[in-house]
Chain A
Amino acid sequence: MASDSEGKTFDRETLLDLVVNAIPLGIILFFILAFALINPFGSNPVNTAIQFSIMAVTGAALLVLTYVSGKAISEAEDELEEKGLELSEEAGAGEVAEPESEPTPETTDGDDEPAA
C-alpha cells in the first residue's frame, strides 16, 4: 500500500478500486436521465414514482454499500500494515506459510484494469 495513505481512508488506491462499482452506477444514472428526457409512455404519479424509485433506490443502496465496504477494507488494510501482517488471501491461520511474495499484488494489479 502507498505510504502516504496514512490517516486517509479514501486514498487514490481505494478510489481506483471502487471505480468498478461506479460503472453500474453510471449506467443507472444514464437511464434515469434518459427516462426523464425521453418519455414515450406519458407520466402518471404512481407509476412514474415507482419507475424512478426502482433505479434510484437500487443505485443509492449500491452507493452506500460500496462506501461502507470501501471504508471497512481500507481501514482494515491500515490495521494490517500497523501490525506488519500480510495482505494476501493465503496468509493468516498457519505458521507454516512462507510469505515470500510481495505484500499487495492485488491492488497494484487492479489499478491497471481499464475502467471501461
Chain B
Amino acid sequence: MVGEQLALTALMGVFLVAVAGFLARMEDWRSYTPLAGGSAIGDAGYGGHAEKPAGIVRWFTTVDHKDIGILYGIYALIAFFWGGAAVLLMRAELAAPGFDIMQAQFYNSLLTSHGITMLFLFGTPIIAAFSNYFIPLLIGADDMAFPRINAIAFWLLPPGAILIWAGFFTAPLGLGIDPAQTSWTMYTPLSAEQANPGVDLMLLGLHLTGVSATMGAINFIATIFTERGDEVNWANLDIFSWTILTQSALILFAFPLLGSALIMLLLDRNFSTAFFAVEGGSPILWQHLFWFFGHPEVYILVLPPMGLVSWILPKFSGRKLFGFKFVVYSTLAIGVLSFGVWAHHMFSTGIDPRIRASFMAVSLAIAIPSAVKTFNWITTMWNGNLRLTAPMLFCIGFISNFVIGGITGVFLAAIPVDLVLHDTYYVVGHFHYIVMGMIAFAGMGALYYWFPIVTGRMYQRRLAKMHFWLSMIGTNITFFAMLVLGYLGMPRRYATYQFDGAIAPLAQVTTLHQIATVGAFIIGFAQLIWAWNMVQSWYEGPELDDADPWNLKDDGMFGREFQWFETQKLAADGGESEEVRADGGEVETDGGEATGRVSSDPRSDGGYRKAVRRVDDE
C-alpha cells in the first residue's frame, strides 16, 4: 500500500518535470504580448524592461510591475477556486443536519483552509495584482521603487500556498501530516495542542505570506512617496493610490506582529515554551496579539477595494467622485482607528468590562468614516449619467452589500448585542457581506474595467452581466440566510446541527441552511461563467480599436492609466490604423464624433448607454 503510493508519487513527479520541460521549451509561450514592455515590440521599451526572455522563463525572471501584477492576479484566482471548492464541499455537507458526506475532521480542515486561503491567498494578492499593475501607471512612475523586491515578494507566495495547503496533499500518503484544523484564527490552546505537523507547515506558510505582504507594503510606500511623476502630488493623487498607501501602512504595523505571534506559537508547539499556555502567558494573550493584527487585516483587505470603487464608479456616473477629500481623509481615519478596536472580537472572553467598553467606543467611531464613503458613492451616482456596464454593476452591488455588511458590524460592535450573537452565523453573515460582497465584487469590477488594458481585448458583455447578477443574487441569498440563522442561535464552525429543538427550531434552521447552500452554488456557478469569459475573451475577444473602450473621454474622465494605454497603443500601432488616429488625435471633439461614435457603438455596453445618454445630452 505504502509502496504503491510512493511509486505513484514518484510517477507524478516525473510527469510534472516533463510538463515543466515542455512548457519551458514552447518558444512562443507568450502569445500574450502586453502592449508595453513586450520584447516583441522593440520600440515599446518601457523602463528597463525592453528585453525579456522568451518562453515561460520570462515569467519566472520578470521584474516588470505589470507582469508581476498579472502573476499576482493568476495566483489569487487559483486560490479563489481552491477556497471556493472547499466551501462548496462544506455547504454540501450542511445541506442536511447529520454527517452525510464527510466527517468533522475533514469539515474542520476545509473550514480552516477556506478562511486562510480566501483572506491571505486570494484577498491580499488580488489587491496586489491591481496595485502592482496600476499604481505606477496612475502616479506616472516608471516602475515600482524596488522592482526586484517586488518580484521576491511575489515568489514567496507560491511556497506559502503549498505549505498552507500541504496537509491536503500529504494526508493521503499516510505520513501523519494532515491538514490543519485550527480555523483561521488559530486560537490557543487548541492550535498549540494539536500534534499534527500539518499545523506547523501552515504556520510557516502563513509566515511566508506575511513577509511577502510586508515587502510589498514597503515597496508601495516608497513608490508612492518617491516615484510620483512631476505632475502628481498629494493634492491630485488618485483615490486608489491613497487607499493603497493607507493599506501599506496598516500592513507595516500589523503583519510583523502576526509574524511574531506565529513564531511564538511555533515555539509553544515545538519547543515547550508557554507563551499561550493556560498556566503560562494565557490563551487570551494569543487573542490579543492575533486580533491586534486581525482587525487591521480586515481593513487591509477592504480599503483598496473601496479605492477601486471610488475610482471606477465616477467613470460610469459621468461625474467626479463627490467629496473626494472626504473620502481621502476618512480612509486615513479608518487606517488609524482600526488599531484601536481589536478587542471587539473578544467581548465574550471575560476581559475587563471597562476596557471592553472602550473598544466598543472606538468601534462605533470607526463606523462613521465607513458610512461617509457610502454616502459619497451614492451622491456621486445621484443625477449622474449612469452607464450600467459590468464594472459599474459590480460597484453598485458593492455599495449595496456594504450597507448590510457595515450595519451588521455596528450591531456587533455593541457589547450587549455581541454577547448574544457572538460565535453564531450572524457573524459569518456580517463578514461575508464584506469579504464576498465587497472585496470580491470590487475585484471583479476592476478586472472587467481594466481587462481591455491588460489584454488589449474586450470581454463578452452578456456573460459579464450574467456573472454579476448571479453573484449578486447568490451572495444575498447565502449571507442573508446566515444572518437569520444567527438570530436563531445557530453556532458557527460546526459540521452538523442535529441539536435539541429547545436550543433552536431545527426545521427552520435546516431550511435556512439549505437556502444558504443553494445560494453558494449559484455563486459558484457564476464564477464558472466568469472564468470561461476571461479565458475565452483573453484569446478570442474582439480587439480594441482605440484606447478608450469605455468612452471616458466624452466625460473628461480619461484616467491616467488609460492615458498611458493610449500612448502605448499609438506607439505599438505605429499610427497604421485610421481609427486610432481619429480618436487619439484632434478630430475627436464634435466633428469626428459622429463617425467615431458609430464605429464605437458595438463597444459601448450593449448600446444601452447611448439611450440613457441621449436624454441627458438634449
A contact set with B: CB distance below 8 Å: 17-18, 20-21, 23-25, 27-28, 31-32, 35, 41, 44, 47-48, 50-52, 54-55, 57-58, 61-62, 65-66, 69-70, 72-77, 79-80, 85-94, 96-101, 105-107, 109-110, 113
Contacts and interface: CB of A to CB of B under 8 A. Distances in A.
A44 B232 CA distance: 52
Given A31-B357, A73-B235, 17 more contacts: A21-B333, A21-B369, A24-B333, A41-B354, A47-B352, A54-B362, A65-B336, A73-B234, A76-B235, A87-B235, A90-B557, A93-B138, A93-B560, A96-B566, A106-B320, A106-B323, A110-B326
A105 B563 contact: no
Given A28-B365, A69-B329, A80 B235 contact: yes
Contacts of B584: 96
B577 to A, nearest CB: 16
Contacts of A113: 322-323, 326, 375-376, 379
Contacts of A58: 336-337, 339-340, 362
A1 to B, nearest CB: 9
B332 interface: yes
Contact of A20 (B137, B326, B366): B326
Contacts of B222: none
Interface string B2-44: 0000000000000000000000000000000000000000000
Contacts of A28: 361-362, 365
B353 interface: yes
A110 B323 contact: yes
B236 interface: yes
Contacts of A47: 352, 354-355
A115 to B, nearest CB: 10
Q: Which 6 A-B pairs have the closest CB atoms?
A: A94-B563, A58-B340, A106-B324, A31-B361, A76-B235, A110-B323
B140 A73 contact: no
14 contacts: A17-B329, A21-B330, A31-B361, A31-B364, A47-B355, A54-B358, A62-B337, A65-B332, A66-B333, A85-B231, A90-B556, A96-B566, A99-B556, A101-B556
Contacts of A61: 336, 339-340
A61 B332 CA distance: 11
Contacts of B567: 94, 96
Task: Please classify the interface of chain A as helix (H, G, I), strand (E, B), loop, or mixed, using the class held by over half of its residues.
Answer: helix
A60 to B, nearest CB: 10
B282 interface: no
Task: Please classify the interface of chain B as helix (H, G, I), strand (E, B), loop, or mixed, using the class held by over half of its residues.
Answer: helix
A24 B236 contact: no
Contact of A107 (B138, B325, B364): B325
Contacts of B375: 113
Interface in B144-183: none
Query: How many residues of B sit at the interface, in one of the four size bands?
Result: 35 or more
A85 B563 CA distance: 17
Contacts of B137: 93
B365 A70 contact: no
Contacts of A107: 324-325
Given A51-B357, A101-B320, A109-B323, A27 B329 contact: no
A89 B238 contact: yes
A24 B366 contact: yes
Contact of B361 (A17, A55, A92): A55
B542 interface: no
B234 A72 contact: yes
B359 A54 contact: yes
B365 A24 contact: yes
B231 A110 contact: no
Contact of A21 (B235, B320, B329): B329
Contacts of A51: 352, 354-355, 357-358
A69 B332 contact: yes
